[in-house]
């Protein structure tokens, strides 16, 4: 029998290291695999037996002796027995493309990766021209998974065509591939799971991107709060270099691609692509005005592809299985699969990979099984701290970029944070503005000053100070931030604020119950009128998501 216990951040936080030591004490050396994303079962102990690969979870060190005893007699008799891993309903019903290899073996074992069709996409790419690779990406319909959902193939085509010269003796210009791994949205962990469970997939995707656009240098800009991912990525890069999948003359093809990991310094704003590039260049992370676009003048002023981890990770399967296969998943203009990250007050949190089109209700109720507290769900925030708060009336909306934009919401990076009926939505709206105060780079006035004023205005509304005028002022302030900010940090902060006001107006009532009865009627009328004004004024705002936090 072969034992597997994860070494990713979530499993480690829940005690997998102690479980591994308990196995070693029992004379068993486990393989440290990556997590499958079933975080509600972590640490998930998997055992490969003659009858199949079975699972026990969530396991603690004290459970190991009884599990070993059960394995020698009847595994199904153990209380933590979950059956065959592939048949766990949470996992079985998913449509895994990007995470097909996650949890199957040692994430930094190159032989394991290749045995699971790793680098097959790269091998095909090495036989193609750059334009042929770009065409495959365009045909797949892949859109940026960082939040903005911009078509990846169009961005690649721009970089591919940039810097061309008719002069035969002119050296081709330097181009770069930059992976945005600064995953800072609340409730998100999909990028981390790729890097900790299948890092070679990201490496392969970046090499293919380099071949496509003519770039020879790549950087993974990793958030400093991911030390496990940092360690595993560096090991994987070193082994890829030793096996000649990175460096000069890749697999004898004459092609070159070098890759390095660079750590961020804890700034949320560096998830925005131009701030990220400033940070990579050794400067303070501040947003650049556009144009010029990074695809024309990016890192060190040269043409640069900036894509999210999930975008680049999808490339290997597109090249391996073909663009048409990827197109078979999804709906409308949202093709392929979405990495849904279920977090917050949820009973069964984890990573769920499904084709675009599943509803929010299906995800939260069928997979999440409701709240961890057992209380009714009241609100769901999708897309990180800049995403709108969605009431139950919107939970049947299919998870599709255009469908969410139509209701003034955003999918963003796919993070879902669930709140039960004890949540104070006025406090959440205030937090959205306060978050912007703390994380703004400070370059533009609407974001830097507007967020500070936003906190003050919300406080006055809740305190019933000149309420009607302050409600008008708050919407005018939101308009200024939305349409006047340089990037989505200020441009999308109004989303959670406006949605909280529109769908949960009662939370903005007076906190003093003795005064609330006297003021309640006029207050409700005021907030209702405010919601109507918001619908009228906000109809032009649905395209403000042009540059989400992960802007690629």
Mean pLDDT for the stretch of residues 300-317: 95
SS3 per residue for 273-319? HHHHHHHHCCCCCCCCCCCCCCCCCCHHHCCEEEEEHHHHHHHHHHH
Q: What is the pLDDT of residue 549?
A: 40
Give the model's confidence band at 163: pLDDT under 50 very low, under 70 low, under 90 confident, else very high.
confident
Q: In which band, very low, low, confident or very high, does the pLDDT at 165 lie, cut at 50, 70 and 90?
A: low
Start-end of CATH 3.40.50.11540 domains in the chain: 110-328
Instruction: Please give the pLDDT value at position 523.
Output: 47
Give the mean pLDDT of 151-180.
Answer: 83
pLDDT digits (tens, 9 = 90+) for 370-397: 999 999 999 999 998 899 999 999 999 9
Is a pLDDT exceeding 80 seen at residue 550?
no
Distances 5 to 43, 106, 250, 349 between C-alpha atoms, Å: 7, 10, 33, 19
pLDDT band at 325 (very low <50, low <70, confident <90, very high): very high
CA distances from 541 to 235, 416, 500 (A): 45, 22, 16
pLDDT-derived band at 422, boundaries 50, 70, 90: very high
Residue of 356, 381, 338 lying closest to 146 (CA atoms): 338
Output the pLDDT for position 456.
94
The mean pLDDT value for 499-520 works out to 68
Question: pLDDT confidence of 82, banded at 50, 70, 90?
Answer: very high
More confident position, 146 or 93: 93
489 pLDDT band, cuts 50/70/90, is: confident
pLDDT at residue 179 above 80?
Answer: yes
**Model confidence over 91-100: pLDDT tens digits?**
999 999 999 9
Measured between alpha carbons, how far is residue 103 from residues 57, 361, 475 in Å?
A: 14, 27, 47
Quickly state the pLDDT bin for 511 (edges 50, 70, 90). low
Q: Which residues contact 532 (CB under 8 A, 6 or more apart)?
A: none
Average pLDDT, the chain: 89
**CATH C-level class of 331-420:** alpha beta
Residues 255, 211: contact at Cβ < 8 Å?
A: yes
Residues of the chain with CATH 3.40.30.10: 2-92
- Identify the CA nearest to 338 among candidates 325, 352, 326: 352
- Per residue in 25-36, pLDDT tens? 999 999 999 999
Fold of the 425-546 domain: de novo design (two linked rop proteins) (1.20.1440)
DSSP for residue 71? H
Q: Fold for domain 110-328?
A: Rossmann fold (3.40.50)
Tens digits of residue pLDDT in 423-457? 999 999 999 999 999 988 889 998 999 999 999 99
pLDDT at 548 over 90: no
The candidate with the shortest Cα–Cα distance to 184, out of 459, 488, 406, is 488
| Rounded Cα distance, 203 and 260, in Å | 10
Position 524 pLDDT exceeds 80: no
User: What pLDDT, in 10s, does the model give residues 18-77?
Assistant: 999 999 999 999 999 999 999 999 999 999 999 899 999 999 999 999 999 999 999 999
Q: For the chain, give every residue range classified as CATH 1.20.1440.230.
A: 425-546
User: pTM of the full predicted structure?
Assistant: 0.89
Q: List the single range of 6-20, 280-294, 536-550 with lowest mean pLDDT.
A: 536-550
What CATH architecture does domain 2-92 belong to? Answer: 3-Layer(aba) Sandwich (3.40)
CATH 3.10.20.600 maps onto the chain at 331-420
């Amino acid at each position: 029998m072969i034992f597997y216990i994860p070494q990713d951040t979530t499993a480690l936080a829940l005690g997998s290291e102690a479980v591994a030591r308990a196995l070693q004490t029992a004379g068993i050396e486990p393989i440290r695999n990556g997590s499958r994303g079933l975080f509600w079962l972590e640490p998930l102990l998997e055992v490969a037996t003659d009858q199949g690969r079975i699972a026990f979870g969530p396991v603690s060190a004290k459970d190991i002796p009884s599990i070993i005893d059960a394995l020698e007699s009847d595994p199904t008799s153990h209380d933590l027995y979950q059956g065959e891993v592939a048949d766990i309903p949470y996992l079985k019903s998913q449509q895994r493309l990007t995470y097909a290899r996650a949890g199957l073996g040692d994430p930094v074992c190159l032989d394991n990766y290749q045995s699971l069709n790793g680098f097959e996409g790269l091998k095909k790419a090495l036989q193609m021209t750059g334009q042929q690779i770009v065409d495959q990406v365009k045909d797949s319909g892949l859109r940026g998974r960082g939040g903005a959902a911009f078509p990846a193939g169009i961005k690649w085509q721009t970089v591919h065509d940039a810097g061309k010269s008719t002069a035969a003796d002119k050296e081709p210009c330097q181009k770069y591939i930059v992976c945005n791994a600064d995953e800072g949205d609340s409730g998100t962990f999909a990028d981390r799971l790729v890097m900790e469970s299948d890092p070679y997939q990201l490496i392969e995707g970046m090499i293919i991107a380099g071949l496509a656009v003519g770039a020879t240098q790549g950087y993974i800009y990793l958030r400093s709060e991911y030390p496990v991912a940092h360690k595993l990525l560096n090991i994987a890069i070193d082994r890829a270099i030793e096996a000649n999948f990175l460096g000069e003359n890749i697999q004898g093809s004459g092609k070159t691609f070098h890759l390095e990991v660079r750590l961020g310094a804890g700034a949320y704003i560096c998830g925005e692509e131009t701030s990220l590039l400033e940070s990579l260049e050794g400067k303070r992370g501040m947003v650049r005005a556009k144009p010029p676009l990074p695809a024309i003048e990016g890192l060190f002023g040269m043409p640069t592809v900036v894509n999210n981890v999930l975008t680049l990770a999808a490339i290997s399967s597109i090249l391996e299985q073909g663009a048409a296969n990827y197109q078979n998943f999804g709906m409308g203009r949202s093709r392929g699969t979405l990495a849904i990250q279920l977090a917050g007050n949820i009973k069964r949190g984890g990573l769920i990979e499904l084709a675009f089109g599943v509803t929010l209700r299906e995800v939260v109720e069928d997979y999440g099984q409701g709240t961890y507290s057992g209380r009714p769900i009241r609100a769901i925030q999708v897309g990180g701290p800049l995403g709108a708060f969605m009431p139950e009336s919107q939970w049947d909306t299919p998870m599709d970029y255009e469908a969410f934009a139509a209701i003034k919401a955003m999918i963003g990076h796919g993070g879902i944070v669930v709140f039960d009926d004890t949540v104070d939505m006025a406090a959440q709206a205030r937090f959205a503005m306060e978050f912007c105060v703390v994380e703004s780079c400070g370059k533009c006035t609407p974001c830097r000053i507007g967020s500070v004023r936003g906190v003050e205005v919300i406080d006055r509304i809740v305190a019933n100070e000149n309420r009607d005028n302050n409600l008008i002022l708050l919407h005018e302030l939101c308009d200024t931030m939305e349409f006047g900010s340089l990037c989505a940090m200020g441009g999308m902060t109004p989303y959670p604020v406006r949605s909280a006001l529109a769908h949960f107006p009662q939370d903005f009532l007076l906190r003093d119950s003795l005064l609330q009865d006297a003021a309640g009627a006029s207050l409700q009328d005021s907030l209702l009128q405010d919601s109507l004004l918001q619908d009228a004024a906000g109809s032009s705002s649905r395209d403000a998501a042009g540059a989400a936090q992960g802007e690629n």
